[in-house]
Structure 1
Amino acid sequence: MTATDPYDVIGIGIGPFNLGMAALLDPVDHVKAAFFDETAEFNWHPGMLIEGADLQVPFLADLVTFADPMSPYTFVNYLHKQNRLHKFFFFNRFDIPRTEYNHYAQWVAGQLGSCHFGKRVTDVKDYKKEGEQLYEVVVEDREAKVIERYFTRHVVMGTGSVPLVPDGFDQFPVEDVVHTSQYLCHRDTFDKAENILVVGSGQSAAEVFLDLLQRQHSFDYRLHWITRSPGFFQLESGKVGQEIFSPDYVDYFHDLPFEKREEELPNLYHIRNGVEEKTLHEIYDLLYHKSIGEDRAPVTVRASSDVESIDVNDNGHYTVTCRQWMEEKEYRIMADKIVLATGYKPNIPGWLEKFSDVMEWEDDKRFKVTRDYRLVFKDDRPNNFFTITNIEHSHGAGATNLGLAVYRNMKIINEIAGEEVYPEQSGTVFQSFGTPEESE
């Protein structure tokens, strides 16, 4: 689109959030949209698509259902089109395999002409011509090696997150010191290891540990699992507790002062982090079976331990220095392969820095975001810059939750369209947040 015929919205990044937006915008004829992603095709966390691993939200949290259950892009319609509906009926579960969610999303992406892969957004600029204010989006076609320029009234930044690797831990060969995001890419190189260390205690760490534990009988390695947390805790899955992943809670959280929001996030750790009960049970049962007839299984599990450094020893293996922070004592683990389940950090594009002086900030790292996901600018610009990246401080623990992704997209689409294309709902949960109204 040219400056005289711009898009209504351009989405930067095509993860589940922007893919869902593209699917919901597909039938909206009066909103012209395009979405760009630098990868060659949609592929959701391919390094962690371990066989047997499930999505942590029910299948109703697909790309569109909460906004439009009659959409052709629902997960149920995907099953129907793939001739899998009867199989899923007998599967008889609310959660679905992670690999199937990825396949479903690829199926949706393949039908949307607004989604363009192999296109890396290298810059976004303010553009003014003849009194109209737009955004100019500069895109590199990674195959053709050409620069393209597009113009749009609104932008949605959905650049997601990138692996968080501790300082100094990225200097080793990636096949030896592996972040969980790349686990399956390098798993075959683990087979000849003598000692394997998994660091972390969230769902990803547990899934990797379980996978290695299941494969241990075929290979002769010792397995270590450590975490800085005081224990290997179960994810809180109580139904009332899960209601924080609702539009009503987001309304409440967003209205709190910034300082109160900061205080609240750690209190929700057990709801948004931890390991599913099913995974912990599988790990314990397997450890129990491995211990029969043995003084001690070739496995070490230890909490309250920080990894302080990794060094190459004289044998070409790794010496990992750890600190048991409760006892304030150091110890060392010898390892050939190390898996870092150290989480992710927001992926903030470098070009966003040019807007920093005209944006409002909560603190020196976190920008101010409205309830409907708009960045707040000091100038009263008519064109919105939406973000679904780096919003935990503004929208709470559910900022990256797939169950809220559709609601986010509904809010943004309605703002762009200037009308309620998708009716928004309130009073969606039994729980009430905040102080009661006078009428109560």
Structure 2
Amino acid sequence: MYDVICVGFGPANIAVAIAFEELWPNARVKFLEKAPGPFWQRTMLLDGSDIQNNPVRDLVTPRNPRSRYTFINYLHEQGRLFKHLNLPSHFPLRKEYARYIQWVAENVSVDVDYDQEVTGIALVDSPDSAEGVGVERSVEVTTAAGEIYRGRSIVVAPGRTPHIPPVFARTASPRVFHTSRYLPGIADLDAGYTGTLAVVGASQSAVEVVLDLVGRFPAARIVNVMTGYGYRLKDTSPFSEEVYFPEFVDYYYHASEEGKQRLRTQLRPTNYSAADADVIDALYLRMYEDELDGRPRVSLRTNRLITGAEAGAEGVTLDLTEHITGEREQVTVDRAILATGYLDLGITGRTEQLPPLLSDLAEALGVTADRPLSVGYDYGVVPDPELQGVPPIFVNGLCESTHGLGDAGSFSLLALRSKAIVESLHERLAKTGDDAADLVGAVPQPGFGI
């Protein structure tokens, strides 16, 4: 019986692992990861791409800048600190940050089982209370390999579910794939490929993929389909960027639903349907030079609604309608790459009611057709009030709808979120557990302690 079972071992739960080591080292914690190792964004480690995030907002620094696991110390131990500080770049390369994350995962004191894909999570009666379990029921986790794990609580961090627009949902074809499968989806194409590829979307990922395709397949033709008139600059004003401050979590969480919607509408350009100036400028210059050379390789289908998508032996046919003129056209491509973002928790718009891993617990968690998952300030799920003995269940990195843009796949608040989760787990489990010691150098506080 573990104190905590953590599903997923990406950046969100790696930050939790550091917090356990530094705050509650005697907790009995098991991490389960479906991948064979601690990999991050393997399908989007593109040449020249960066993390779009201040590197000091890493897995631990905002919580404990003296930790061994800071990005700065990683660079120091790798002998690259001064060279990195000399880079003519605002943000670190995505490839280097992926190596930092792997380095932390390999060095933090953690009990992790790789190649364990979780297929079921259930609530079961706890063993005899004489064992000091402290909760009436426990969590039972089953994996595809047939392993069964039991814990007094669980932290779920599976990553967000890719958003597949309805027009593509019925297109079950390897020719159509989300950017979360980008590199595997083009792995069979050689450098001399001369076909046509479509990129759907106008986000940072969309621009990065278009640039990568142009460099990777010089003879190919790229069609970028988007609903807007063109690419928009991401709002990187330092005033807007304060949405990634811990204080904003408190402000957003306690806002009304109407207030939250207003904030989402106002602040969307800080993270969505927009791209950084460096990649937009690079693509515009690339397209201009191609036109100058008489070999236009990238074409933009702006202001287009995709009304149909059909995959066949010859490729993927897209039906497009221009929003302003109503003009219709068909485009047939070899692959359609969906840079269409990810789902949030909710019941309207691009959402899902709860993480798929928790679907078997929908009733216990009070999730219905008109009620999404309810998450507390400390990232703990609020269960159905009529049910007793539901063990602590936390969701890590999935709570943008309740906690704001700091939970939108950003590194900004990982370290502080892990602190909130570990402190709350300690407070809940240690109240009746005989074997739980005080947190190291910390007094349990709700939320971020701000």
Alignment of 1:244-259 (within 5 A): 244-259=243-258
| 2:394 matches 1:395 | no
Q: Is the 8 A contact 1:203 1:275 kept in 2?
A: yes
Following the alignment from structure 1 to structure 2, what is the Cα–Cα distance between the partners of residues 92 and 298? 29
Aligned match of 1:150 = 150
Superposed CA deviations along residues 103-128 of structure 1, whole A, max 9, x for unmatched, are: 11111111233222112232231433
Aligned match of 2:8 = 13
Per-residue deviation at 1:17? Answer: 0.5
Per-residue deviation at 1:133? Answer: 2.0
Superposed CA deviations along residues 154-195 of structure 1, whole A, max 9, x for unmatched, are: 211112123222346363542x22321122123344442422
Per-residue deviation at 1:354? Answer: 4.0
Aligned match of 1:229 = 228
Alignment of 1:254-269 (within 5 A): 254-269=253-268
Equivalent residue for 1:376, pick from 374, 378, 382: 382
Give the 3 Å change call, closer, same or farther, for CA 422–289 of structure 1 in structure 2.
Answer: farther
The worse-fitting range, judged by mean Cα deviation, of 86-95 and 317-326 is 86-95
Aligned match of 1:431 = none
Q: Is the 8 A contact 1:410 1:422 kept in 2?
A: no
| 2:80 matches 1:118 | no
| 2:446 matches 1:405 | no
Equivalent residue for 2:363, pick from 328, 333, 357: 357
Identity %: 25
Give the 3 Å change call, closer, same or farther, for CA 130–260 of structure 1 in structure 2.
Answer: same
Aligned match of 1:161 = 160
> Which one-letter code corresponds to 1:359 in the other structure?
L
Point out 4+ residue stretches in structure 1 off by more than 6 angstroms: 423-428
> Which one-letter code corresponds to 2:11 in the other structure?
P
Per-residue deviation at 1:94? Answer: 4.6
Give the 3 Å change call, closer, same or farther, for CA 340–277 of structure 1 in structure 2.
Answer: same
Aligned match of 1:206 = 207
Aligned match of 2:349 = none
Give the 3 Å change call, closer, same or farther, for CA 385–34 of structure 1 in structure 2.
Answer: same
Superposed CA deviations along residues 37-91 of structure 1, whole A, max 9, x for unmatched, are: 1111121121111011000111112111111111111111211222222321222
Give the 3 Å change call, closer, same or farther, for CA 397–230 of structure 1 in structure 2.
Answer: farther
Give the 3 Å change call, closer, same or farther, for CA 303–365 of structure 1 in structure 2.
Answer: farther
Q: Is the 8 A contact 1:258 1:362 kept in 2?
A: no
Equivalent residue for 2:103, pick from 99, 107, 119: 107
Structure 1 residue matching 2:142: 3-state secondary structure: strand
| 2:420 matches 1:417 | no
Q: Is the 8 A contact 1:59 1:94 kept in 2?
A: no
Following the alignment from structure 1 to structure 2, what is the Cα–Cα distance between the partners of residues 146 and 283? 48
Per-residue deviation at 1:402? Answer: 1.1
Give the 3 Å change call, closer, same or farther, for CA 426–19 of structure 1 in structure 2.
Answer: closer
Following the alignment from structure 1 to structure 2, what is the Cα–Cα distance between the partners of residues 60 and 178? 33
Q: Is the 8 A contact 1:231 1:303 kept in 2?
A: yes
The worse-fitting range, judged by mean Cα deviation, of 29-38 and 274-283 is 29-38
Per-residue deviation at 1:231? Answer: 2.7
Aligned match of 1:435 = none
Q: Is the 8 A contact 1:126 1:133 kept in 2?
A: no
Give the 3 Å change call, closer, same or farther, for CA 215–182 of structure 1 in structure 2.
Answer: same
Alignment of 1:300-379 (within 5 A): 300-312=299-311, 316-345=314-343, 348=354, 350=356, 352-360=358-366, 364=370, 366-377=372-383, 378=385, 379=387
| 2:44 matches 1:48 | yes
Q: Which structure dedicates a bigger proportion of its chain to strand? A: 1
Following the alignment from structure 1 to structure 2, what is the Cα–Cα distance between the partners of residues 278 and 304? 23
Equivalent residue for 1:37, pick from 33, 38, 52: 33
Gaps of 5+ in 2: 130-134, 345-351, 428-437
- RMSD in angstroms over aligned alpha carbons? 2.7
Give the 3 Å change call, closer, same or farther, for CA 349–89 of structure 1 in structure 2.
Answer: closer
Give the TM-score normalised by the residue count of structure 2. 0.84
Per-residue deviation at 1:250? Answer: 1.1
Give the TM-score normalised by the residue count of structure 1. 0.86
> Which one-letter code corresponds to 2:184 in the other structure?
C
Aligned match of 1:82 = 78
Per-residue deviation at 1:146? Answer: 3.7
| 2:284 matches 1:279 | no
Give the 3 Å change call, closer, same or farther, for CA 350–233 of structure 1 in structure 2.
Answer: closer
Per-residue deviation at 1:280? Answer: 0.5
Equivalent residue for 2:136, pick from 130, 133, 136: 133
Give the 3 Å change call, closer, same or farther, for CA 183–352 of structure 1 in structure 2.
Answer: closer
> Which one-letter code corresponds to 2:363 in the other structure?
D
Structure 1 residue matching 2:310: 3-state secondary structure: strand
Following the alignment from structure 2 to structure 1, what is the Cα–Cα distance between the partners of residues 147 and 367? 32
Following the alignment from structure 1 to structure 2, what is the Cα–Cα distance between the partners of residues 212 and 382? 49
Following the alignment from structure 1 to structure 2, what is the Cα–Cα distance between the partners of residues 426 and 44? 26
